[in-house]
Every structure is written in structure tokens, then in C-alpha cells.
């Protein structure tokens, strides 16, 4: 039996390394200082997911910081993936925060550029963008593997860290998107979360390109799934959310049901079908469920998709 050296020893890394199909779910911090919001979400998700993904001022709206919220989630008993955007921090802050997060036991990070300032609630703010997500991934990889800061200075001691990135198979230039993932893998990404997948044929074409580059063996691919709560939400994502590809048929399918619970049930069923289809795609290592302010849907989706119980490691 071969011994695999883990980079961080996190639960998520263990699940993915074991070959089990991983499940993570989004967990957005509140727009206030109330930690019970995180605790309540964790209570819902515990047992259904391998880790919760704690967002970092998502859509450029101020919320409790991802570091403190990730720590709160871990204290509440579910491992966190801490998101880190390049929008709100320069390279000093991004290195300081990861060292501090590690002190608090956070082992997974998701490196993002961040939604543009203009979409949020402080559009007058100056976006930092000192470096981009590619530079962030490489900076963290170098801290972990080379034990060097971005400036080249040595760092004492270890930084156990499982490094994630995001990629959008549905954004232009489409022909470039698999190569872009390759760039992130070369920069040091251990896992990737994709944009929410509604157009499965398009995702399968992207995965063909990913496999042709051999990337599915280099990086763990978590396919993004967003359960649709209503026809209105589906239509909004189709027409107004950048980088989203929501086929009209899906909107029609949800809209064919009555508003309220019937539409929610159809959205849940669609999410389950999507997960089942994605699990069949060679190279998909798990799913990341982004149930936006609808965490309560996650346990039944995971159960209906046949993904319970979650693996346990000692």
C-alpha cells in the first residue's frame, strides 16, 4: 500500500485523496456580527457535507470576514474552506491572513479574484487587485512548499494548506477556459470549484478538453451546482448574472410548476438530477453546492443524490 503525503491533512483533502466523491456547500457569513448565523447554517449542513465554503464579501457586499466566519464554522464542528479574494487585500494582508487562519486551524483556502466592486454595496471603494488569483495561488503555494514569502524572504515553519481555485467553463473565450485551468494548476491549485452548471453538454465539452490536457489527474474538480428556488431566480441568473449559462428549457421547466413549494421541489429535483449526471462525468471528483441563502435544501439534495453517509476519517 502506498503512502500518500497530504499537503494539509484537511478532511476535504482526505476525502478527495481517498477517491470518494466529495460534497461541499456554500456558507455565507451574515451582514452583522452574529456568529449564531454561521452556527445555525453549520447545524443544518453537518453530516451532509465534507466542508463548508465560507464566502469572502461575496458580490462585493460587506459581511463578517471569511476568516472569522470560517473559524466559527470549524468551532461549530464542520471543516471550512476559507475564501480569499484579491479585491479587498494587498499581498501583505493576503499573506498575513493565511498565516493567522492557519494559527486558528483553517486548512483549506479558495483563491479568487473577487466580484467587481461596482456590483456591491460600496461601489465608491477602490478595488485593491494588487495581484490576481493566479498570483495568489502561486504565492500560497510558495509559502507552503518553498516556505518563502512573495518577496522571496524565508518563512520559518510549515503552512499546511489545501489550495483551491475557481474556474468558469461558461465564460468567454470558451476555447481558452481549459487552458486557463491548466495555468491555475501550474500555479499550484490542488482543487477547483466550477461555476454553477446548468448547461451540462457545455460542461462535458469543457471536461473533454480538461481530460485531453490530463488536468483531471492533477487537480480535484468539484462541479458547481446551484439549486433553483424559483422561476424568477432562474430567469435572473439566465439574463443578469455574468458568466452564467442557464438554458431556457430549465427556466421553462421550473416555470411550468406553481410558484412556491412546487417550484422549489422542481428545483431540488433538478439539482439532484444534475449531481447524478455530473458524477458520471470522468474526472469530476465531487460537487460544490451553492444553495444561496437556502442551506436547508442541501441535506435532502445530498441524500436524494445518494451521497450519504459522508466518509469519516480518524
Partner 1 sequence: MITADRKPFDEIYAMTEGHDRVLVAGCDTCVAICMTGGEKEAEILASEIAIKAKQEGRELTVEHTAAIRQCEWEYLDTIADTVGGFPLVLSMGCGIGIQAMAERFAPKLVMPAVNTNMLGLPQEHAVWLERCIACGDCVLGLTAGVCPVVRCAKSLMNGPCGGAHDDGLCEVVGKDGEPIECAWVLIWERLKAQDREELMFAYRPPKDWSSSSSGGPRKMVREDAMPV
Residues that bind partner 1 (CB under 8 A): 86-87, 91, 113-114, 116, 118-119, 127, 129-135, 138-139, 150, 166-168, 170-173, 176, 179-180, 182-183, 186-187, 195, 242-243
Q: How far is the CB of 269 from partner 1 (least distance, A)?
A: 27
224-234 per-residue burial string, b: 16 or more CB within 10 A, e: under 16:
bbbbbbbbebb
Q: How far is the CB of 238 from partner 1 (least distance, A)?
A: 13
Q: How far is the CB of 245 from partner 1 (least distance, A)?
A: 9
Distances (CA, A) of 48 to 55, 97, 216: 19, 28, 25
> C-alpha angle 119/121/122, rounded to 5°?
95
Looking at beta carbons only, is 172 or 293 nearer to partner 1?
172
Looking at beta carbons only, is 264 or 288 nearer to partner 1?
288
Displacement of CA 194 from its chain's centroid (Å): 7
Looking at beta carbons only, is 50 or 245 nearer to partner 1?
245
The contacts of residue 177 (CB under 8 Å, 6+ apart) are 167, 168, 169, 171, 206, 209
Displacement of CA 197 from its chain's centroid (Å): 13
Is 272 in a helix, a strand, or coil? helix
Looking at beta carbons only, is 137 or 301 nearer to partner 1?
137
Looking at beta carbons only, is 56 or 167 nearer to partner 1?
167
Cα separation of 70 and 80, whole Å?
Answer: 5
Looking at beta carbons only, is 172 or 249 nearer to partner 1?
172
Identify the helix (H) or strand (E) that includes residue 179: helix 177-187
Length of the chain in terms of residues written: 314
Cα separation of 271 and 204, whole Å?
Answer: 17
Q: How far is the CB of 201 from partner 1 (least distance, A)?
A: 16
Q: How far is the CB of 138 from partner 1 (least distance, A)?
A: 7
Cα separation of 80 and 10, whole Å?
Answer: 9
Looking at beta carbons only, is 54 or 134 nearer to partner 1?
134
Looking at beta carbons only, is 46 or 149 nearer to partner 1?
149
C-beta separation of 23 from 289 below 8 A = yes
C-beta separation of 62 from 85 below 8 A = no
Dig out the grid coordinates for 93 from the structure. Answer: 494582508
Q: How far is the CB of 195 from partner 1 (least distance, A)?
A: 6
Dig out the grid coordinates for 32 from the structure. Answer: 452583522
Q: How far is the CB of 92 from partner 1 (least distance, A)?
A: 12
Q: How far is the CB of 139 from partner 1 (least distance, A)?
A: 7
Distances (CA, A) of 267 to 199, 224, 312: 15, 15, 29
Amino acid at each position: 500500500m502506498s503512502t500518500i503525503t497530504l499537503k494539509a491533512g484537511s478532511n476535504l483533502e482526505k476525502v478527495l485523496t481517498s477517491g470518494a466523491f466529495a460534497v461541499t456547500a456554500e456558507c455565507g457569513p451574515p451582514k452583522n456580527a452574529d456568529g449564531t448565523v454561521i452556527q445555525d447554517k453549520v447545524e443544518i449542513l453537518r453530516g451532509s457535507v465534507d466542508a463548508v465554503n465560507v464566502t469572502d464579501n461575496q458580490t462585493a457586499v460587506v459581511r463578517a470576514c471569511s476568516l472569522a466566519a470560517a473559524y466559527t464554522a470549524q468551532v461549530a464542528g464542520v471543516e471550512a474552506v476559507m475564501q480569499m479574494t484579491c479585491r479587498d487585500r494587498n499581498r501583505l494582508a493576503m499573506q498575513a491572513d493565511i498565516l493567522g487562519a492557519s494559527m486558528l486551524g483553517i486548512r483549506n483556502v479558495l483563491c479568487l479574484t473577487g466580484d467587481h466592486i461596482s456590483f456591491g454595496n460600496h461601489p465608491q471603494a477602490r478595488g485593491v487587485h494588487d495581484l490576481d488569483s493566479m498570483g495568489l495561488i502561486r504565492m500560497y503555494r510558495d509559502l507552503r512548499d518553498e516556505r518563502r514569502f512573495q518577496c522571496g524572504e524565508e518563512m520559518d515553519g510549515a503552512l499546511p494548506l489545501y489550495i483551491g481555485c475557481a474556474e468558469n467553463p461558461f465564460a468567454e473565450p470558451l476555447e481558452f477556459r481549459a487552458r486557463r485551468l491548466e495555468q491555475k494548476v501550474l500555479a499550484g491549485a490542488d482543487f477547483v470549484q466550477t461555476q454553477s452548471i446548468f448547461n451540462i453538454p457545455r460542461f462535458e465539452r469543457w471536461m473533454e478538453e480538461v481530460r485531453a490536457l490530463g488536468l483531471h489527474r492533477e487537480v480535484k474538480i468539484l462541479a458547481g451546482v446551484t439549486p433553483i428556488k424559483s422561476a424568477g431566480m432562474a430567469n435572473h441568473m439566465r439574463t443578469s448574472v455574468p458568466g452564467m449559462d442557464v438554458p431556457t428549457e430549465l427556466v421553462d421547466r421550473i416555470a411550468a410548476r406553481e410558484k412556491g413549494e412546487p417550484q422549489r421541489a422542481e428545483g431540488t429535483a433538478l439539482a439532484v438530477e444534475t449531481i447524478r449526471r455530473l458524477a458520471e462525468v470522468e474526472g469530476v471528483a465531487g460537487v460544490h453546492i451553492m444553495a444561496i441563502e437556502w442551506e436547508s435544501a442541501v441535506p435532502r439534495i445530498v441524500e436524494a443524490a445518494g451521497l450519504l453517509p459522508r466518509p469519516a476519517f480518524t
